[in-house]
Structure 1
Amino acid sequence: MIADQPDLYAALRQSGIPAEDLPRLLSDAPAPVAQRLAPIDKGLLRAVLRAGLGQEAVRGAAAVVDYLKQSSPAALFSPALDNAPNTALPTRGERPDMPAFSDRAFDAWFATNGATYGLGLYGENRSVYATPQFADTASPERRTIHLGIDVFAPAGTPVYAPYDGKVHVLTYNADPLDYGHTLILEHRTKDAPFFTLYGHLGGSLARLLSHGAQVTAGQHIADLGDWHENGGWAPHLHFQIITDMLEQTGGNFFGVGQASLWDIWQQISPDPNLILRLPAKAYQV
């Protein structure tokens, strides 16, 4: 039995309950606990339970990571990220003169930076997400840890598929500071699928692809969106790997996660640099 307490994720992790027993846990839980867990993605809850038992939080996640390490992805951009000047764009005060990504002054600042691409960091704890929008009923903790890598470049910059696959989701997330035009591709390994997410795209997306369409590595799949179509951000790509879609059926998959669940989120969304293949120094100021 899980008692009502502020952090239900921690309670589930410590409960010793198998993930297969989640339906019984939810039906037997005290009403306050059941009400708080009801809106939470059940795939995430199962991952927390598995992690609490020392199991792989996402079955097959390690196999996907091994596949990515051994694969030969096509470049997402031309020129490729490793063949053009790029600069790291951390948001924790390392660049005190840098406007926020949601500030239109960012475009002019970046244009004078001398880089073809700017890189927003995976695993960064971003204060911009420390708002009620990024909390849920299971815990007061905000989801503040960035699960993707951002690649900043001018609006209209083409994006190319890193692997063969098919369109899993093609949608428009219209809320302010959301993904805007969004694409999720499904790819196959020998044993399991994995997914790549592309957020903040341009309106050309619907002309380039359709739901269920097959894509090939190196194919032009999208263009970076401008402010009015990408959720209200400086033009960039939010690029994310997903090993398990959990129970998310739309195109608004989690782009940030809780710090206390970072070991789990790393299995759900491993480091996108497994595909981008940039040296560690590229993400340092």
Structure 2
Amino acid sequence: MPEYSKIAAQLTGQPDLYSALLAAEGAPDLDRLIAACDAEVAARLASVDQGLLRAILRVGAGNEAVDGAGRVIDHLKTTTPAPVFLPEINAGPSISLPTGGQRPDMPAFSDRAFDAWFTAQNVPYGLGLYGENRTCYASAQFADKASDERRTVHLGVDVFAPAGTPVYAPFAGKVRHLTYNADPLDYGHTLILEHAGPLPFFTLYGHLGSSLPSLLTVGESVAAGQHIAHLGDWHENGGWAAHLHFQIMTTMLEQTQGNFFGVGHAGLWGVWSQICPDPNLILRIDPARFVV
């Protein structure tokens, strides 16, 4: 039986409650733990996604962050997804676009100069990396009250292509969310599909064009290979060069408004990588294409 008062005392004064929860012993029940905390810690814990906190406690106890995440990952390894882009990315040239200075002349993805730079590369697709720790996520929207660590690790794969490029569904599913996330550097037009597997799982398509609401409706079924969206331009995709942020989720946590975390905490990568496994399980891009 977890000693709730002892664990609660260990959380008092901690700047990073996430790390402290990872170290908690005995897989404590979150609600009982919050009730045992002082008012300041309880308020900080209550202010963040409760599903994420439960996932952290599960990993701290040696369990999967999401019950069944491993089964979903194993399922995806055995599937044959439809291409998300046509022509397929592996069929022609592409360029890897890491943000750590490997391409010193490359403007930031949020800099309009990126468009001319990318056009000059003379390739149909550019690839932004999953699991990359990006320094650009420094604003308050990438922080919360439970930790002083910003969310900086990219949970999706970015595929850069011209605005208006069609996007296709990799699997049959249904439209779970269809939303416009309007904050600066957010997703803009956003689609989340729910798919059947050993457990339901989800795919997220961010930075889409304003054609999205005319193509799909919430609750609608989609077929594998169906045209579901277009890449958005700057004014409709959150303020980015045209690209798709593609992401897998093994759970929606407690996110219900048609948005989901696109970046996670480096200190919680063992948790986030189970919640949002490698999108290349579906995209099937040659791994060598992500290397400069």
TM-score (norm 2): 0.95
Quote the residue 1:24 is aligned against. 32
Quote the residue 2:246 is aligned against. 239
1:273 to 235, 260, 280: 280
Shift of residue 131, structure 1, vs aligned partner: 2.9
Alignment of 1:1-285 (within 5 A): 1-2=7-8, 3-4=11-12, 5-18=14-27, 21-189=29-197, 191-285=198-292
Distance in 2 between the 1:161 and 1:145 partners?
A: 25
Distance in 2 between the 1:8 and 1:265 partners?
A: 16
Shift of residue 133, structure 1, vs aligned partner: 2.3
Distance in 2 between the 1:40 and 1:57 partners?
A: 17
After superposition, what is the alpha-carbon deviation per residue over 1:227-283, rounded to whole angstroms, capped at 9, x for unaligned? 000001000000000001000001220000000000100000000000111122100
Bigger Cα displacement from structure 2, 1-10 vs 40-49:
1-10
Gaps of 5+ in 1: none
After superposition, what is the alpha-carbon deviation per residue over 1:97-152, rounded to whole angstroms, capped at 9, x for unaligned? 00110111111110010210000000000000123321111110000000000000
Query: Over aligned residues, Cα RMSD in angstroms?
Result: 0.8
Structure 2: which amino acid aligns with 1:178?
Answer: D
Q: Look up the SS of the partner of 1:82 in the other structure.
A: helix
Quote the residue 2:3 is aligned against. none
Distance in 2 between the 1:91 and 1:37 partners?
A: 32
Structure 2: which amino acid aligns with 1:15?
Answer: A
Distance in 1 between the 2:122 and 2:44 partners?
A: 49
Structure 2: which amino acid aligns with 1:140?
Answer: D
Structure 1: which amino acid aligns with 2:268?
Answer: L
Shift of residue 17, structure 1, vs aligned partner: 4.0
Q: Look up the SS of the partner of 1:129 in the other structure.
A: coil
After superposition, what is the alpha-carbon deviation per residue over 1:16-55, rounded to whole angstroms, capped at 9, x for unaligned? 1425x11111111111110111111010000000000110
After superposition, what is the alpha-carbon deviation per residue over 1:217-236, rounded to whole angstroms, capped at 9, x for unaligned? 00000000000000010000
Paired residues, number: 283
Structure 2: which amino acid aligns with 1:273?
Answer: N
Distance in 2 between the 1:181 and 1:127 partners?
A: 24
Distance in 1 between the 2:103 and 2:194 partners?
A: 36
Structure 2: which amino acid aligns with 1:13?
Answer: L
Stretches (4+) displaced over 4 A: none
Q: Look up the SS of the partner of 1:15 in the other structure.
A: coil
Distance in 1 between the 2:140 and 2:174 partners?
A: 35
